[in-house]
Structure 1
Amino acid sequence: MKAFTSISLIFCGLLSACGGGGDSNNTVVETSVNAGIDLQITEKSEFIITAQGSPADGTFTWQQVSGPSLDGFVLDGAEQTLKAPDVKTDSVIILRVSYQSTGSSAVSDDISILVSSNNQLPLVVVTQTSPETLPSVYKDTVTLSGLESSDPDDNGQIDSYLWQLLSGPDLDIASFNESTLSFSHPLLESNANLSWQLTVTDDEGGEASTQYSMTLNKTNELVDANAGADKNVEEFEQVTLDATNSETVTDTYQCKWQQLTGNAETLINSDQCTATFIASDVDTQTTLSFEVTVTDSKGRNDTDSLFIDVSPKALGLINDSGVGECFNNAQRINCGDEDFPAQDAELGRDSYANDLEKAGKGNLAFDYTKLNEFADEVGDDSSDFTCIRDNLTGLVWEVKSAASGVVPSTVLRDGQNHYIWDIGDTTSGVTTAGGANTTCPSNTDCGLRTYIDEVNALDFCGGTNWRVPTYNELLGLIDYGKQGQRVLIDESFFPNIPVSGAINSVNLPYWTSQTAADGTSLSQAYIIDMSDGNDLAYPKENAAYVRLVRSR
Structure 2
Amino acid sequence: MKAFALIPLISCGLLSACGGSGDSSDSSDSTAVETSVNAGIDLQIIEKTEFTITAQGSPANGTFTWQQVSGPSLEGFPLDGAEQTSTAPDIKADSNIILRVSYQSSGSNVVTDDISISVSSNNQLPLAVITQTLPETLPSVYKDTVTLSGVESNDPDENGQIDSYFWQLLSGPDLDITSFNESTLSFSHPLLESNVNLSWQLTVTDDEGGEASTQYSMTLNKTNELVDANAGEDQDIEEFEQVTLDATSSETVTDTYQCRWQQLTGNAETLSNSNQCTTTFTASDVDTDTILSFEVTVTDSKGRTDTDSLFIDVSPKALGLINDSGVGECYNNTQRINCASDDFPAQDAELGRDSFANRLDKVGKGNLAFDYTKLNEFADEVSDDSNSFSCVRDNVTGLVWEVKSVNSGTLPNTSVRDGQNHYFWDLGDTEFTDTSTANTTCPNGTSCGIQTYVNEVNALDFCGGTNWRVPTYTELLSLIDYGKQAQSVLIDADFFPNLPDESALNHLRYWTSQTAADGTSLSQAYIIDMSDGNDLAYPKNNTAYVRLVRSR
Same fold (TM over 0.5): yes
Compute the displacement of 1:103 (Å).
1.3
Helix, strand or coil: the match of 1:266? coil
Cα drift, residue 236 of structure 1: 2.5
Question: Match of 1:162, SS?
Answer: strand
State the shift of 1:314 in Å. Answer: 3.4
Change in CA separation of 1:293 and 1:23 when aligned onto 2, cut-off 3 Å: same
Q: How does 1:453-472 map to 2 (within 5 A)?
A: none
Name the residue aligned to 1:6.
6
After superposition, the Cα gap between the structure-2 partners of 1:361 and 1:288, relative to the gap in structure 1 and judged at 3 Å, is closer
User: 1:134-533 residue pairs with structure 2 within 5 A?
Assistant: 134-316=138-320, 318=353, 321=366, 327=374, 333=376, 336-337=379-380, 345-349=393-397, 351=399, 363-364=477-478, 481=492, 492=532
Counting only pairs closer than 5 Å after superposition, residues 57-76 of structure 1 correspond to structure 2 as: 57-76=61-80
Distance 2:91 2:493 in 1: 91
Q: Give 1:97 deviation, angstroms.
A: 0.5
Structure 2 vs 1, CA of residues 84 and 269 (structure 1 numbering), >3 Å: closer, same or farther?
A: same
Q: CA RMSD in A?
A: 3.5
Partner Cα separation in structure 2 for residue 226 and residue 281 of structure 1? 28
How much has 1:361 moved relative to structure 2? 9.6
Query: Residues 85-125 of structure 1: CA distance to partner in whole angstroms, max 9, x if unpaired?
Result: 11111111100001111111111100000011111111111
Name the residue aligned to 2:105. 101
Is 1:324–1:351's contact at 8 Å kept on the other side of the alignment?
A: no
Mapped partners of 1:296, 1:491: distance in 2: 66
Distance in 2 (CA, whole Å) between partners of 1:271 and 1:315 is 34
Residues of 2 paired with 1:229 and 1:190: CA distance? Answer: 29
Amino acid in the other structure paired with 2:170? L
Structure 2 contact 96–117 (Cα < 8 Å) conserved: yes
Seen in structure 2, the aligned counterparts of structure 1 residues 14 and 284 have a Cα distance that, compared at 3 Å, is same
Distance 2:262 2:116 in 1: 85
Q: Which residue of 1 aligns with 2:119?
A: 115
Label 1:31 to 1:299 Cα distance change in 2 as closer, same or farther (>3 A): same
CA gap of 1:352–1:216, structure 2 versus 1, over 3 A, is: farther
> Separation in 1 of the partners of 2:471 and 2:209?
76
- Residues 326/86 of structure 1: CA separation in 2 closer, same or farther (3 Å cut): closer
Change in 2 beyond 3 A, CA 1:117/1:191? same
| CA distance in structure 2 between the partners assigned to 1:183 and 1:352 by the alignment | 64
**Alpha carbons 1:44, 1:84 under 8 Å: kept:** yes
Q: Do the aligned partners of 2:14 and 2:26 also contact (CA within 8 Å) in 1?
A: no
Q: Which amino acid aligns with 1:2?
A: K
1:257 CA drift (Å): 0.9
Distance 1:481 1:87, change over 3 A: same
Q: Do the aligned residues in 2 keep the contact of 1:226 with 1:244 (CA within 8 Å)?
A: yes
Say if 1:92 and 1:114, in contact at 8 Å, map to a contact too: yes
Paired position in structure 2 for 1:129: 133
Please report how far the alpha carbon of residue 277 of structure 1 lies from its aligned counterpart in structure 2 after TM superposition: 1.8
Task: State the Cα deviation string for residues 381-417 of structure 1 (Å, max 9, x = none).
Answer: xxxxxxxxxxxxxxxx9xx9x9xxxxxxxxxxxxxxx
> Which residue identity is paired with 1:96?
R
Between the two proteins, the alignment pairs up a number of residues equal to 379
**Displacement after TM superposition at 1:150 (Å):** 1.1
Provide the C-alpha distance between the structure 2 equivalents of 1:298 and 1:349, rounded to a whole number of angstroms.
Answer: 58
> 1:490-539 CA distances to partner (integer Å, 9 max, x unpaired)?
99579xxxxxxxxxxxxxxxxxxxxxxxxxxxxxxxxxxxxxxxxxxxxx
Deviations 1:259-296 (A, max 9, x none): 22233222221001011222223333332221111011
Normalised by the size of structure 1, how large is the TM-score?
A: 0.62
Whether contact under 8 Å (1:255, 1:292) holds in the other structure is yes
CA contact (8 A) 1:324 1:481 kept: no
What is the percentage of aligned positions where both structures have the same residue? 72
User: What's the CA shift for 1:159?
Assistant: 0.9
Partners in 2 of 1:285 and 1:265 — Cα distance? 15
One-letter amino acid matched to 1:199: T
Gaps of 5+ in 1: 369-396, 403-478, 495-552
Q: 1:12 Cα shift? A: 2.5
Give the C-alpha shift of residue 311 in structure 1: 2.7
Residue 12 to residue 361, structure 1, CA distance change in 2 (3 Å): farther
Aligned mates of 2:152, 2:400 — CA distance in 1: 72
Shift of 1:367: 10
Which entry has the higher C-alpha Rg, 1 or 2? 2
User: Structure 2 CA distance, aligned partners of 1:352 and 1:158?
Assistant: 80
Q: Report the Cα distance in structure 1 between the residues aligned to 2:24 and 2:205, rounded to whole angstroms.
A: 82
Give the Cα separation in 1 of the matches to 2:259 and 2:470: 51
Change beyond 3 A, Cα 1:31–1:95: same
Tell me which residue corresponds to 2:447.
none
Q: Which amino acid aligns with 2:98?
A: I
Q: Which amino acid aligns with 2:3?
A: A
Note if contact 2:161-2:207 (Cα within 8 Å) is conserved in structure 1: yes
Deviation per CA, 1:168-214, whole angstroms, max 9, x where unpaired? 10011111111111111111111111111111111111111111111
CA distance in 2: counterparts of 1:109 and 1:77, whole angstroms: 14
Deviation at 1:43, TM superposition (A): 0.6
1:90 corresponds to: 94
Structure 2 counterpart SS, 1:349: coil
Provide the secondary structure at the position in 1 that maps to 2:5.
strand
Q: What is the deviation of 1:46? A: 0.3
* SS of corresponding position for 1:293: strand
Contact 1:190 1:219 in 2 (8 A): yes
1:253/1:13 Cα in 2 relative to 1: closer, same or farther (>3 Å)?
same
Q: 1:113 to 1:153 in 2, by over 3 A?
A: same
Contact 2:229/2:296 (8 A) holds in 1: yes
Q: Distance in 2 between matches of 1:227 and 1:482?
A: 50
Q: Is the alpha carbon distance of 1:366 and 1:216 closer, same or farther for their aligned partners in structure 2, counting shifts above 3 Å?
A: farther
Cα separation, partners in 2 of 1:352 and 1:126, compared to 1, 3 Å: farther
The answer to whether the 8 Å contact 2:171/2:199 transfers is yes
Q: 1:327 to 1:58 in 2, by over 3 A?
A: closer
Q: Tell me the CA shift for residue 232 of structure 1.
A: 2.5
